[in-house]
């Protein structure tokens, strides 16, 4: 999946991510920039909360 690293200011493609559910019941994907290690987030949209952890 493609993420945007705010530290590198570039898009990063990685399959090493996991999904979480935010407190507002939004699914998001979390990954780590392979270059600088900064956390990258991507909102997936609203769906039914699954077995995930909250931010
Ligand atoms: Zn980065």
Distance 8 CA to ligand 1 centre (A): 4
Distance 23 CA to ligand 1 centre (A): 26
Res 7: pLDDT: 97
Measure the CA–CA gap between 4 and 23, rounded to whole angstroms.
22
Q: What is the pLDDT of residues 16-53, one digit of tens each?
A: 999 999 888 889 999 999 999 999 999 887 655 556 66
Distance 5 CA to ligand 1 centre (A): 5
Distance 2 CA to ligand 1 centre (A): 12
DSSP per position, 10-52: EEEE-S-EEEEE-TTSEEEEEEE-TTT--EEEEEEEE----S-
Distance 53 CA to ligand 1 centre (A): 24
Res 22: pLDDT: 87
pTM: 0.69
Taking the CA atoms of residue 44, residue 39, residue 9 and residue 11 in that order, the dihedral angle to the nearest 10 degrees is: -50
């Amino acid at each position: 999946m493609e993420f945007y690293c705010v530290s590198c200011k570039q898009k990063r493609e990685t399959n090493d991510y996991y999904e979480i559910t935010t407190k507002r019941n939004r699914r998001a994907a979390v990954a780590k920039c392979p270059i600088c290690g900064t956390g990258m987030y991507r909102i997936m949209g609203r769906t039914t909360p699954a077995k995930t952890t909250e931010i």
